[in-house]
Amino acid sequence: MSIGTGIALFVIGAILAFAVNVEIDWVNLDLVGYIFMGAGALVFVIGLILLARRRKTNTVTHTSIDPNSGQQTTRGTTSSTDDAAGL
């Protein structure tokens, strides 16, 4: 969702900065457009960073000796945060 929001902010900012030629006394639409473009680029990059962090997989291996039989027991646990829905 943040990647789409970043793209939308960037496009709205580009439209305000380059395509709208309306003069308003109390607001500079070019500056507002540049601010939206900067915010959109920032949100897009943050979205990519969060997406890359979400794809990590952690594997934990625990080795112990069973006190009853004296044999070594190994248990492995894998946790993955990569989900198909992208949540």
33 found inside a domain: yes
DSSP SS3 for 80? strand
- Looking at residue 87, its pLDDT comes to 45
* Segments forming the whole domain that contains residue 42: 2-80
> Is 23 a member of any domain?
yes
State the pTM of this model: 0.62
The conformation of residue 35, written as its DSSP 8-state character, comes to H
Q: pLDDT by residue (tens digit) across 1-60?
A: 789 999 999 999 999 999 998 888 999 999 999 999 999 999 999 999 988 876 667 777
Instruction: Tell me what pLDDT residue 52 has.
Output: 80
Four-residue CA torsion sign, 15, 34, 18, 2: negative
Name 6's bridge partners: none
For residue 87, tell me if it sits in a domain: no
Token pair for 65: 């000796």
Tally the domains of the chain.
1
